[in-house]
Amino acid sequence: MFARTTRVDLFTLFGLIFLILFVLPVTAAPVPAPPSVAATGHLLIDFDSGYVLAENNAEQRLEPASLTKIMTAYVVMKEIQAGQVTLQDQVLVSKKAWRTPGSRMFIEVGKKIALEDLLKGMIIQSGNDASVALAEHIAGSEETFANLMNDHARRLGMINTHFVNSTGLPDEQHYTTPRDIARVTRATIREFPDIYQWYATKEFTFNNIKQHNRNKLLWRDDAVDGVKTGHTEAAGFCLVASAKKDGMRLISVVMGTSSEDARASESQSLLNYGFRFFETHRLYGAGEKLASTRVWKGSQEQLRLGLTRDLYITIPRGQYQNLNAGMRIEPKIIAPVSSGQPLGKVNIALAGETIVEDDLVALDPIAEGGLLQTAKDTVLLWLE
């Protein structure tokens, strides 16, 4: 009797083990809370999706110090892109640029310096003198250049940012936020990948003076390829860092830490957290056909629908198989239809909760149909 009971218990036990290992769904481990960061404000986002992985005081207006130069460089790159200046331009160094206090690349008043060298001196050596020289060359004065900076800030959605100079030297009306500085960083990486590579340069020599990049993470982590440090007494020690690992790029912002080592270690902690517990996937490409739908009274009956931009999602690791995609399309679409016209939604959900929703748009234009097609579809619509 005892032996028989034991055998049944063993079979039951083996059955439970089988169910646990092979039948029951495996639940991914929960994502732990982000690390505590000793900074006045910080932010960690995925570059492709824009998903926020960690933040604190991300909307607080703070002095950016030399993080300002991310926007200064961005404006210079936009001017190059527009054909207004070139990397080969010879820039005359003014007394104001030469006398600018703070970090320097040691340009000399009255000399002409290649714009490319000034841009590298600002990005790698954080030269305030280079920043002012570039601003004056592009806009005539640093004050006018600051207006350009603010114009681009508004266009990028940096609603809590205002610049009064190109360097980041202290001023009560010169401020930004962790979220806003991340916006211009994303734009820089996306729009100017060739010049962005300079942010990974560890040292630059000008006028026989070699200076090292102040971003310590460039030496500590091979995945890190930028971006910019900043420091004033009022702003504390700041760092915008970006790293790419296994196709996933993260951007971290820490503002108001206590030391050079602190800004580096806090940034590293954020990046490690993001790469360890999250993953990013490209679900659909821009212009890719996701669905077709009927068009009434048009020159053709079928319309391709898709997205205007690549759709990326950032999710906890191990959750990709639990994603669900859905589409909602307008029930009656009547020509004419213009290319890019929103006609529905793409919805991506995880565990029943929407994580991304984007417009489903017409990929092609469809003109109004002829009289016969219009009359036929009118009758069919009446019968529906």
Catalytic positions are 66, 69, 126
In this structure, are residues 249 and 189 in contact, taking their beta carbons and an 8 Å threshold? yes
Convert 101-130 to b/e letters by CB count within 10 Å (16 or more is b). ebbbbebeeeeebebbbbbbbbbbbbbbbb
In this structure, are residues 70 and 230 in contact, taking their beta carbons and an 8 Å threshold? no
Q: Is 216 annotated as a binding residue?
A: no
Q: Which of 137, 203, 196, 135 is nearest to 167 (CA)?
A: 135
Q: Which two tokens stand for residue 190?
A: 């996306």
In this structure, are residues 117 and 165 in contact, taking their beta carbons and an 8 Å threshold? no
Dihedral over Cα of 96, 99, 103, 108: its sign: positive
Question: Which residues make Cβ contacts (< 8 Å) with residue 249, sequence separation at least 6?
Answer: 46, 47, 48, 189, 242, 243
Question: Which residues make Cβ contacts (< 8 Å) with residue 344, sequence separation at least 6?
Answer: 291, 305, 327, 328, 329, 330, 359, 360
Question: For 295, phi and psi rounded to 5 degrees?
Answer: -115, 130
What's the CA gap between 297 and 334, in Å, rounded?
A: 6
What's the CA gap between 173 and 163, in Å, rounded?
A: 7
In this structure, are residues 159 and 180 in contact, taking their beta carbons and an 8 Å threshold? yes
Q: Which two tokens stand for residue 185?
A: 């960083």
What's the CA gap between 133 and 202, in Å, rounded?
A: 23
Q: What is the DSSP string of 298-328?
A: BSSSEEEEE-SS-EEEEEETT-GGGEEEEEE
Q: Which of 155, 183, 172, 148 is nearest to 67 (CA)?
A: 183
70: left (phi over 0), alpha (psi -120 to 50) or beta: alpha
What's the CA gap between 126 and 36, in Å, rounded?
A: 29
Residues making up the annotated binding site for substrate are 228
Residues making up the annotated binding site are 228
